[in-house]
Amino acid sequence: MSALTDLYQEISLCRQCEIARARTRVVPGEGAENAEILFIGEAPGWHEDQQGRPFVGPAGQFLDSLLSSINLKRQQVYIANVIKCRPPDNREPLPIEIANCQKWLDKQIEIISPKIIVTLGRYSMARFFPGKSISKIHGTVQKQNGIIYFAMYHPAAALHQGNLRQVIEQDMLKLPSLLTQAQTQTETSEETATESDSQPQQLSMF
């Protein structure tokens, strides 16, 4: 069994929050165990809860089309959420639910060891860009501990506010050159790693 399959098993046994009792299926995440890009959304919705897979509803269809705009398929990346169970009536996740679920996301990041983490929406952004506003930092990057963090609006935002669709599409188009940059950095990082790498660094690229 792979490390991720073992982890899915553990996640499926988790009953730490009330919402675990109401879920149809847990939604741990899916994709390549060695993915270079990890997308992190908010929480499963109705469709995801039914299927046990992330981003399979209308927001997921838009995410798929964003991925194909940069010639990627979802099997080549990894897609997860901040929380793994659906909040009833699609309400926003509670701080306690986010805190309880943090260990699962941390383990996913450790196993996948992505070069780039793309935060989709406010909840995911808040984890890596605390205190920042999505309207100000979408489309920008920050580097820490060898990982590039890239903030984007949640794909569902385009379904509610049509004017954001183009913004999200444009932000997505920045990913291929970021990935090239990340791949180049990995090749040289072993020799050049410094203490400052553990401090957040704004990259000036965009």
| Degrees, nearest 5: CA angle 163-167-170 | 145
Neighbours of 201 (CB within 10 A): 13
> Is there binding between residue 30 and ligand URA (CB under 6 A)?
no
Q: How far is the CB of 107 from ligand URA (least distance, A)?
A: 18
Q: How far is the CB of 45 from ligand URA (least distance, A)?
A: 5
> Is there binding between residue 55 and ligand URA (CB under 6 A)?
yes
Tracing tokens 């959304």 back to the chain, one arrives at 41
Residue 86 or 143: the one with the smaller Cβ distance to ligand URA is 86
Q: How far is the CB of 83 from ligand URA (least distance, A)?
A: 9
Question: Can you point out the beta strands (E) in 18-155?
Answer: 30-31, 37-41, 78-81, 116-120, 141-144, 147-152
85, with CB counted inside 10 A (0-12, 13-18, 19+), is: buried
Among 17, 28, 35, 44, binds ligand URA (CB under 6 A): 44
> Is there binding between residue 59 and ligand URA (CB under 6 A)?
yes
Orientation of helix 3-12 relative to helix 95-112, angle to 10°:
160
Helix (H, G, I), strand (E, B) or coil at 44: coil
Binding to ligand URA, residues 80-109 (CB under 6 A) = 81
> Is there binding between residue 49 and ligand URA (CB under 6 A)?
no
Torsions phi, psi for 145 (to 5 deg): 50, 40
Q: Nearest to ligand URA by Cβ — which residue?
A: 41
> Is there binding between residue 29 and ligand URA (CB under 6 A)?
no
Q: How far is the CB of 15 from ligand URA (least distance, A)?
A: 20
Q: Which residues bind ligand URA (CB under 6 A)?
A: 41-45, 48, 54-55, 57, 59-60, 81, 156
